[in-house]
Structure 1
């Protein structure tokens, strides 16, 4: 029996050694072409896209409208007026850090305006580009793996002896100004799509209402595009987006529409900016520009929201300018 056991034991040891020899070493380098770089990660969506996905999950599907602006679609929130004969539609444009249901002003207003006899259509604007950082390349993000000294010397020698390869054409660099202009076109396209949707609902009158930097984009759209079916603008706590021009007081002087400019007088910077807009309207002799100062109530937001709603509703009742007028 002993020779047989020894033979079996020897066969077993030889089999194990053969199997170990066939297995790749754990420390052996793998082919970099088959293994993605550890630094490669999927790009995160824009904030406006993430916000839209959250709103789609949270809000009633009947409020949601997907509109088309050029090559991209975006979410809009629609609420019909709670009256038999609506006065028209108010399109709400939130600021850069808000969305179509923002708590600062846009969300409460879009829900309250239908009780005043107005359809409400709220949209989220694309993310502002401002001054972008230079695009990062794969070479700057992922360093080449270090090899042994002999391999490095061979590679350097081969590179010196061989003719210089033809460089691949570099992707054209986009200047900050070009990126800002691209952002302007995206914003304008969304506003235009919202106006087209309101027109399809046979709204008697269409009003643009912008909050924060949304007020700037509403004013700029009306100043540059001059749509015949939009004759009224409401600006709430208007702000100039960083990196963009012209300033709001220059836009106000060019507005061909009836304008209600609502601002909070508590901050000196807001008062000064509002004064510049008022002075510009006087120099331009705008008879339909009205400015309204309000007091901020940060400790009682429901009262502040109700104050803003009542002031805007009063303007819509008294100062609305019809498209035919």
Structure 2
């Protein structure tokens, strides 16, 4: 004999059945349409050089940090006073593209080791290479403030038509987008930024009252050192050092066209086993002979990619040797 189904079991089975399409459509129509959250734009990402400078601020002791001002722009420089009672002078270090003020090749080793030889060092953070600006990154829309409670459904229903009418009356902007900057304008802006930082470094250096100021550039930093001295001609900088000099992509004039005209005491350090470095150094040498440069000296070095420590020791010894033998006192010409 079959048992009668219990009412509760029947009700449970009916509840588990899917709703009819008509009921589902009515429920969807009853729900208000959700609008996508607005995308808010914010300022462009930080430059890589700024991020690296922030990392140096966290890693290095505060006594080595100098926050200098170049116009409206602040930047980090790393300061190491000479470890002697009477310093020989001060060396300002300019890193190349993509390098920091404590770069492990040339810049970092020189800024830390030259003070033991009686030279104070000031290593700069230069701006990122010029190019297209970084795009702004979207952020999530901010949540309503606690001071401004969310609008109730009843209020939204009452205010909806007015807001819709107001939004519809706003006309789209017809202002044309600003034209992109030309390459010349971008390069001029980059040059102005770099020159302002070198000028700020020189102002700090002069406060230390050094016997001599030496400008040393590594990679593309050598190009900026040459261009600054060619343009501004500071009378208290009579010595220039170039290490593995490079020309920034798209810039001119070439180093062999502008370097010989400076007539400063110049040490040009290059790696003879690197063809590009060797060829560009040869062009600079020939140009210096044509210009009869009175105090231009090239120093060939050997690259040691398998032993970077020894390679950097070689560079430090060669730079110290040049500073002890070929330094020109401020206010004197190289041939005096």
C-alpha distance in 1 between matches for 2:90 and 2:72: 25
Between 1:63-72 and 1:265-274, the stretch displaced more is 265-274
Relative to structure 1, the CA distance from residue 170 to residue 203 in structure 2 (aligned partners, 3 Å threshold; closer, same or farther) is same
C-alpha distance in 2 between matches for 1:287 and 1:254: 10
Query: Of 248, 251, 259, which residue of structure 1 is paired with 2:255?
Result: 248
Q: Is the Cα–Cα contact under 8 Å of residues 222 and 256 in structure 1 kept in the other structure?
A: no
Q: Which residue of 2 aligns with 1:267?
A: 274
Q: Which residue of 1 aligns with 2:331?
A: 324
Cα shift at 1:105: 1.1
Relative to structure 1, the CA distance from residue 208 to residue 36 in structure 2 (aligned partners, 3 Å threshold; closer, same or farther) is same
Q: Is the Cα–Cα contact under 8 Å of residues 45 and 135 in structure 2 kept in the other structure?
A: no
Q: Which residue of 1 aligns with 2:217?
A: 210
Relative to structure 1, the CA distance from residue 301 to residue 137 in structure 2 (aligned partners, 3 Å threshold; closer, same or farther) is closer
C-alpha distance in 1 between matches for 2:172 and 2:331: 67
Q: Which residue of 2 aligns with 1:109?
A: 110
C-alpha distance in 2 between matches for 1:86 and 1:137: 47
- Give the match's secondary structure for 1:101: coil
Q: Which residue of 2 aligns with 1:99?
A: 100
Cα shift at 1:195: 0.9
Q: Deviations over 1:246-271 (max 9, x none)?
A: 11101212213110000001111111
Q: Which runs of 5+ in 2 are unaligned?
A: 1-26, 138-170
Residue pairs, 1:30-179, within 5 angstroms:
30=35, 35-37=37-39, 40=41, 43-130=44-131, 132=132, 167-179=174-186
- Give the match's secondary structure for 2:299: strand
Relative to structure 1, the CA distance from residue 250 to residue 165 in structure 2 (aligned partners, 3 Å threshold; closer, same or farther) is same
Cα shift at 1:285: 0.5
Tell me whether 1:228 sits opposite 2:235 in the alignment. Answer: yes
Paired residues, what number?
A: 274
Tell me whether 1:28 sits opposite 2:33 in the alignment. Answer: yes
Please, what TM-score do these two structures have when normalized by structure 1?
A: 0.79
Q: Which runs of 5+ in 1 are unaligned?
A: 1-20, 139-163
Larger radius of gyration: 2
C-alpha distance in 2 between matches for 1:137 and 1:42: 6
Cα shift at 1:29: 3.2
